[in-house]
Amino acid sequence: MAKYTIQDNPFVVPTTDGKIIKEHFGLASDGNPNISIAHMTAPPGWSEPFQTPEFDEYTFVIKGKKQFNIEGDVFVLKAGESIKINKNTRVQYSNPFSEPCEYIAICTPAFSMDSVNREDE
Protein backbone atom coordinates (compact mmCIF):
# COMPACT_ATOMS: atom_id res chain seq x y z
CA MET A 1 0.00 0.00 0.00
CA ALA A 2 1.29 3.47 -0.91
CA LYS A 3 2.45 5.68 1.93
CA TYR A 4 1.40 8.88 0.14
CA THR A 5 -0.87 10.18 -2.58
CA ILE A 6 -0.02 13.01 -4.96
CA GLN A 7 -3.07 14.72 -6.42
CA ASP A 8 -2.32 16.34 -9.78
CA ASN A 9 -5.77 15.87 -11.33
CA PRO A 10 -8.39 17.24 -8.90
CA PHE A 11 -12.10 16.72 -9.49
CA VAL A 12 -13.59 19.87 -11.06
CA VAL A 13 -17.03 20.35 -9.56
CA PRO A 14 -19.62 21.46 -12.12
CA THR A 15 -21.11 24.86 -11.22
CA THR A 16 -23.54 27.29 -12.82
CA ASP A 17 -22.46 30.46 -11.00
CA GLY A 18 -18.97 30.98 -12.45
CA LYS A 19 -17.17 29.67 -9.36
CA ILE A 20 -14.31 27.25 -10.04
CA ILE A 21 -14.05 24.40 -7.54
CA LYS A 22 -11.19 21.89 -7.75
CA GLU A 23 -11.50 19.24 -5.06
CA HIS A 24 -8.10 17.64 -4.40
CA PHE A 25 -9.28 15.26 -1.69
CA GLY A 26 -12.79 14.42 -0.51
CA LEU A 27 -15.95 12.55 -1.42
CA ALA A 28 -16.05 13.64 -5.08
CA SER A 29 -12.34 13.15 -5.83
CA ASP A 30 -11.21 10.08 -3.87
CA GLY A 31 -14.23 9.02 -1.80
CA ASN A 32 -12.77 10.19 1.53
CA PRO A 33 -15.66 10.97 3.92
CA ASN A 34 -13.41 12.46 6.63
CA ILE A 35 -12.00 15.58 4.94
CA SER A 36 -12.30 17.60 1.78
CA ILE A 37 -9.67 19.99 0.49
CA ALA A 38 -10.63 22.25 -2.39
CA HIS A 39 -9.01 25.12 -4.29
CA MET A 40 -11.66 27.65 -5.27
CA THR A 41 -11.94 30.83 -7.31
CA ALA A 42 -15.04 32.95 -6.81
CA PRO A 43 -15.71 35.52 -9.55
CA PRO A 44 -16.64 39.15 -8.79
CA GLY A 45 -20.28 39.44 -7.76
CA TRP A 46 -20.58 35.78 -6.72
CA SER A 47 -22.64 34.66 -3.72
CA GLU A 48 -24.18 31.49 -2.32
CA PRO A 49 -27.43 31.09 -0.38
CA PHE A 50 -27.26 30.81 3.39
CA GLN A 51 -26.34 27.35 4.63
CA THR A 52 -25.94 25.54 7.94
CA PRO A 53 -23.33 22.83 7.27
CA GLU A 54 -22.91 19.69 9.35
CA PHE A 55 -19.11 20.03 9.08
CA ASP A 56 -16.41 22.42 10.28
CA GLU A 57 -15.10 24.58 7.45
CA TYR A 58 -11.69 26.22 7.34
CA THR A 59 -11.02 28.92 4.72
CA PHE A 60 -7.64 30.40 3.78
CA VAL A 61 -7.77 33.37 1.37
CA ILE A 62 -4.93 33.33 -1.17
CA LYS A 63 -5.88 36.34 -3.35
CA GLY A 64 -8.61 38.95 -3.25
CA LYS A 65 -11.27 39.21 -0.53
CA LYS A 66 -14.18 37.05 0.62
CA GLN A 67 -17.23 38.25 2.53
CA PHE A 68 -18.80 36.20 5.32
CA ASN A 69 -22.23 36.65 6.89
CA ILE A 70 -22.16 34.47 9.99
CA GLU A 71 -25.48 34.57 11.81
CA GLY A 72 -25.79 38.31 11.06
CA ASP A 73 -22.15 39.30 11.64
CA VAL A 74 -20.80 40.49 8.28
CA PHE A 75 -17.06 40.84 7.71
CA VAL A 76 -14.38 40.45 5.06
CA LEU A 77 -11.19 38.40 4.99
CA LYS A 78 -8.33 39.39 2.70
CA ALA A 79 -5.35 37.50 1.29
CA GLY A 80 -3.29 35.83 4.02
CA GLU A 81 -6.17 35.57 6.49
CA SER A 82 -8.06 32.45 7.54
CA ILE A 83 -11.10 31.40 9.52
CA LYS A 84 -12.69 28.30 11.03
CA ILE A 85 -16.48 28.17 11.05
CA ASN A 86 -17.89 25.52 13.36
CA LYS A 87 -20.46 23.03 12.11
CA ASN A 88 -24.14 23.89 12.56
CA THR A 89 -23.40 27.61 12.13
CA ARG A 90 -25.58 29.55 9.66
CA VAL A 91 -23.33 31.25 7.11
CA GLN A 92 -23.43 32.92 3.70
CA TYR A 93 -20.32 33.27 1.54
CA SER A 94 -19.93 35.94 -1.14
CA ASN A 95 -17.54 38.00 -3.23
CA PRO A 96 -19.21 41.38 -3.81
CA PHE A 97 -15.89 42.87 -4.88
CA SER A 98 -14.50 43.75 -8.33
CA GLU A 99 -11.71 41.15 -8.38
CA PRO A 100 -11.83 37.33 -8.14
CA CYS A 101 -11.22 35.69 -4.77
CA GLU A 102 -8.96 32.65 -4.67
CA TYR A 103 -9.03 30.47 -1.56
CA ILE A 104 -8.60 27.02 -0.06
CA ALA A 105 -11.49 25.39 1.80
CA ILE A 106 -11.05 22.41 4.10
CA CYS A 107 -14.11 20.64 5.51
CA THR A 108 -14.18 18.02 8.29
CA PRO A 109 -15.94 15.72 7.78
CA ALA A 110 -15.92 16.05 4.00
CA PHE A 111 -18.25 18.42 2.15
CA SER A 112 -21.37 16.84 0.71
CA MET A 113 -24.54 18.27 -0.79
CA ASP A 114 -26.50 16.20 1.74
CA SER A 115 -24.78 17.84 4.73
CA VAL A 116 -24.37 21.48 3.56
CA ASN A 117 -28.05 22.33 4.19
CA ARG A 118 -28.36 25.23 1.75
CA GLU A 119 -31.43 27.41 2.08
CA ASP A 120 -33.64 28.12 -0.92
CA GLU A 121 -32.46 31.14 -2.87
Query: What pTM does this model have?
Result: 0.95
Q: Parse the chain into domains and list their residue ranges.
A: 15-113
Residues whose CB is less than 8 angstroms from the CB of residue 48 and which lie 6 or more positions away in sequence, other chains included: 17, 92, 93, 94, 118
- For the structural domain made of 15-113, what CATH number should be given? 2.60.120.10
pLDDT (0 to 100) of residue 120: 87
pLDDT (0 to 100) of residue 121: 60
Q: How far apart are CA 118 and CA 30, in angstroms?
A: 24
Helix (H, G, I), strand (E, B) or coil at 103: strand
Q: What is the pLDDT along the chain (121 residues), one digit of tens a residue?
A: 889 999 999 999 999 999 999 999 999 999 999 999 999 999 999 999 999 999 999 999 999 999 999 999 999 999 999 999 999 999 999 999 999 999 999 999 999 999 999 998 6
